[in-house]
Structure 1
Amino acid sequence: MRYMAFLRRFVSGFSVLVVVTVVFLATTANDRSFQIEAETLGAAITFEGDQNIWNFSAAILCLPRAIPDLRQLTTEAVDRDTACTEAFFELAERTDLSIHWHHGDEVAVSVDGEGRLEIEIRRRRETDVPEHAFLVIPADIWTRQGALTFVGSARIGGDMATGARDYLRAGRWDVRQTGIANSLFRDVTEVVKRGDFTLGSSVQVLNAGMPATLFGSITRSAEAGIRLVALSERGEVELQVAYFGVGTPVILRPDWIDRIVSSSVLIALIGVMTFASSIFQIFMFARSGRNL
């Protein structure tokens, strides 16, 4: 009887230890990152570091006029689906253009109705392509253009409104998490949560309430707009999603339930506890002489 009491206490203590371990590992903050794939008509990027270089074989540089030339406001010019009109900008053709984006430079990237890539320079240190200018990449050049990579923060999709032309069309996201809950001995990354973007949403990855660093690329979409793929920095990052008509953006992050159901380590611990309890119950029945 003393042996049975000891065994009962041992199994009970072991079960409590496993439960406490599972809860601790599930609720302990682990490093995670977001991966985003989006089909969008526009995105705003703020560059970080000094390793961002974009090359174009041909481009049109649109420099703001000091005084608008309203004589250029012809019916044909008004009908053109572009922000870069000769009434408000001086146009200059450039070939073999290489732009070195510096830390803090900010651009807005979009595709107009004629398939041209438009880059609005919102903030820039250098004056070769100054602030408030536009770069227009002709449709035939953009079709053959390779990927444009970037390191920095990004807001994907503009605010949805009547006449908006930079809205997000579709996309998806997933959260990849590392830590002891994923593997005891290796730096393994597991997908713990995923979802889709709805048309018109505007998304941004945050870290401690500030824009997180993304490592991304921009390519031509098979349909309208651009395709943006990015992986965020690792940390306690979260995804902010704003919807038209919703005053407060939605914050998406994995919770402890997501960690448990996606963690092979935690599932294994729960399995061990269940197996040990089953063996103990069988042993107890056998000792008491009952038939199973």
Structure 2
Amino acid sequence: MTWPLGFIRGPAQVFFVSAMFFLATFLVLTVATANRSFLIEAHTTTLDVVFGEGQNVWRLPEATVCIPLDVPDFASKGPCGIAFEAKGEPSEAIISWAENTKINVSTQSDALQITVLEAPGSDMIERSYFLLSAKSWKSAGALTFRASVIVGQDLQSGSRNLLLNGRWEAREAGLVTSFFRNVTEVVKQGTLPAGSKATVLIDGNPARVYGHFTQSEDNTLYVNVVSQLGNTALQLNSFGLDEPILIEPDWVDSAISSPLLLALAVFFSILASASQVFSDTSSITPRKEAEE
């Protein structure tokens, strides 16, 4: 009998080639059907948020509302500075953020400042902001959002608000792997450099994330977000780079980080070895009988 491939001459070799074909097919299907999500954990003093659909309700205790002035009041000694005026006394504010409203959250000394950057279809005044003392901020607890976000900002000389440190993870879940274990697997991870700017994209556009921020011990923002599943990537801007870095795990990352794929490879290796031993034993026995 003539074999299509010269090295395939016994059951063990046939099994080995079949196992390799199965693993290769499994890897291709795993990568092709995988959906990816990114997790970001960071300490920062600035965060941009563009709210999406769904409830985004914040309770801000003892908040001072600052409204922009047409003409600066140089004699003002209020909490809002010379370019803004305080609207009434500090009081609790319950805010239901409208879709597509864009805000910036930053820390100013020991205070939290929430500035309205864009408010389409809303009665909010652009450039106005809410100011919370450290005590009021702590009382507010975790402030959650369903939105697209930018953690940090482009670093320039004199920048006061920036990303301090952080980490990220790329997680994958797919149709093929869900048949065996319905979990997401970490396929790549890394750190966020100080002074960088991070955002999650999906098909080149800002991705929807689910997250929150809280007050850290040093009165900076502790931000935790998880993006939607899909063809996502992490975009990092760092000072000195002409183009942003795009982090998008490939099939190599999926292969070396998948416990299921590694387990299948070990399993088939054991079966191939057992098949080889059985084949060798079977060929030796008739030879001995012939010699006798």
Q: How does 1:182-201 map to 2 (within 5 A)?
A: 182-201=177-196
By how many angstroms is 1:20 displaced? 2.7
1:45 aligns with 2:40: no
Name 1:32's counterpart in structure 2: 36
Name 1:257's counterpart in structure 2: 252
The 8 Å contact of residues 152 and 196 in structure 2, kept in 1 or not, is answered as: yes
| 1:11-37 deviation per Cα after TM superposition (whole angstroms, max 9, x unaligned) | 254134224324313532411211111
By how many angstroms is 1:259 displaced? 1.1
Name 1:217's counterpart in structure 2: 212
1:64 aligns with 2:68: yes
| 1:56-114 deviation per Cα after TM superposition (whole angstroms, max 9, x unaligned) | 12111111111122344xxxx6xx9x8x41x211112341211110000000000112x
Name 2:21's counterpart in structure 1: 17
By how many angstroms is 1:188 displaced? 1.6
Indicate the larger mover: 212-221 or 258-267: 258-267
**Distance of aligned partners of 1:88 and 1:150 in 2 relative to their CA distance in 1, 3 Å threshold:** same
1:101 aligns with 2:105: no
1:174 aligns with 2:169: yes
By how many angstroms is 1:7 displaced? 2.3
Query: What is the percent sequence identity of the aligned residues?
Result: 32
By how many angstroms is 1:51 displaced? 0.7
Gaps of 5+ in 2: 3-7, 286-292
1:132 aligns with 2:127: yes
The 8 Å contact of residues 32 and 178 in structure 1, kept in 2 or not, is answered as: yes
By how many angstroms is 1:152 displaced? 0.5
Name 1:154's counterpart in structure 2: 149
Tell me the secondary structure at the aligned position of residue 122 of structure 1. strand
By how many angstroms is 1:269 displaced? 2.4
The 8 Å contact of residues 175 and 192 in structure 1, kept in 2 or not, is answered as: yes
Tell me the secondary structure at the aligned position of residue 61 of structure 1. strand
Name 2:276's counterpart in structure 1: 281
The 8 Å contact of residues 182 and 190 in structure 1, kept in 2 or not, is answered as: no
By how many angstroms is 1:165 displaced? 1.8
Tell me the secondary structure at the aligned position of residue 182 of structure 1. helix
**Distance of aligned partners of 1:30 and 1:208 in 2 relative to their CA distance in 1, 3 Å threshold:** same
Q: Give the TM-score normalised by structure 1.
A: 0.87
Distance in 2, matches of 1:6 and 1:246, equals 57
**Distance of aligned partners of 1:23 and 1:176 in 2 relative to their CA distance in 1, 3 Å threshold:** closer
**Distance of aligned partners of 1:162 and 1:5 in 2 relative to their CA distance in 1, 3 Å threshold:** closer
Distance in 1, matches of 2:248 and 2:186, equals 12
The 8 Å contact of residues 108 and 121 in structure 1, kept in 2 or not, is answered as: yes
The 8 Å contact of residues 105 and 115 in structure 2, kept in 1 or not, is answered as: yes
Aligned length: 278
The 8 Å contact of residues 183 and 264 in structure 1, kept in 2 or not, is answered as: no
Name 2:289's counterpart in structure 1: none
Letter in 2 for 1:202: K
By how many angstroms is 1:135 displaced? 1.0
The 8 Å contact of residues 18 and 273 in structure 1, kept in 2 or not, is answered as: no
1:112 aligns with 2:116: no
By how many angstroms is 1:139 displaced? 2.0
Distance in 1, matches of 2:137 and 2:196, equals 25
Distance in 1, matches of 2:177 and 2:165, equals 30
Gaps of 5+ in 1: none
